[in-house]
Amino acid sequence: MYNIGSIQQVGLGSENADIVHAWYREHLGMNVQVFSEEAEAALMTKYTGGKVHSRKAILALNKFGGGGIEFWQFKSRKSEKVSFDILPGDLGISCLKMKVSNIEEAFTRIQKLGVKVYTKIGDDIMTPSSFQFQDPFGNRLQLVESSNWYSDKEGSLQGGVLGVSIGVSDLEKSVQYYAKLFNFDTVKDLKVETYKDLNKITGGKHLYRRAVLSHSKPRKGPFAKLLGANEIELIQVLDRTPNIIFKDRYWGDQGYIHLCFDVQNMTEMEKHFELTVDSANSFDMGKAAGRFSYTEDPDGTLIEFVETHKIPILPKIGWYYKLSKNKKEYVPDWLIKLMFFGSK
Q: For every one of its 344 residues, what pLDDT tens digit does the chain have, with 9 covering 90 and above? A: 889 999 999 999 999 999 999 999 999 999 999 889 999 999 999 999 999 999 999 999 999 999 999 999 999 999 999 999 999 999 999 999 999 999 999 999 999 999 999 999 999 998 999 999 999 999 999 999 999 999 876 677 999 999 999 999 999 999 999 999 999 999 998 788 899 999 999 999 999 999 999 999 999 998 999 999 999 999 999 999 999 999 999 999 999 999 999 999 898 998 899 999 999 865 555 455 678 999 999 999 999 999 987 776 666 666 667 776 655 678 888 888 877 876 66
User: What pLDDT is recorded for position 290?
Assistant: 77
Dist CA 64 CA 148 (whole Å): 10
Dist CA 341 CA 344 (whole Å): 8
Dist CA 250 CA 186 (whole Å): 33
Dist CA 86 CA 135 (whole Å): 14
Q: What's the pTM value of the predicted model, to 2 decimals? A: 0.93
Q: Is 133 helix (H, G, I), strand (E, B) or coil?
A: strand
User: What pLDDT is recorded for position 313?
Assistant: 65
Q: Residue 41 corresponds to which amino acid?
A: A
- 136 phi, psi to nearest 5 deg: -65, -5
Burial class (CB in 10 A: 0-12, 13-18, 19+), 215: middle
Q: Is 202 helix (H, G, I), strand (E, B) or coil?
A: helix
Domains of the chain by range and CATH? 3-342 (3.10.180.10)
Q: DSSP of 231-276, one letter per residue?
A: EEEEEEESSSPPPBTTTTS-TTSSEEEEEEEEEE-HHHHTTTS--S
Longest alpha-carbon distance in the chain: 58
Q: DSSP of 286-305, one letter per residue?
A: SS-EEEEEEEE-TT--EEEE
Spatial neighbors of 241 by CB under 8 A, at least 6 apart, are: none
Report the DSSP pairing between strands 158-167 and 54-61.
unpaired
User: What pLDDT is recorded for position 13?
Assistant: 98
User: Which residues in 62-146 belong to E strands, given as ranges?
Assistant: 68-74, 92-100, 116-117, 130-134, 140-145
Q: Is 9 helix (H, G, I), strand (E, B) or coil?
A: strand
Alpha-carbon torsion angle 213, 219, 222, 224, nearest 10 = 60
* Torsion-angle region of 252 (φ positive above 0: left; ψ -120 to 50: alpha; else: beta): left
| Contact predicate 32/24, CB 8 Å | no
Q: Residue 206 corresponds to which amino acid?
A: H
Dist CA 133 CA 142 (whole Å): 6
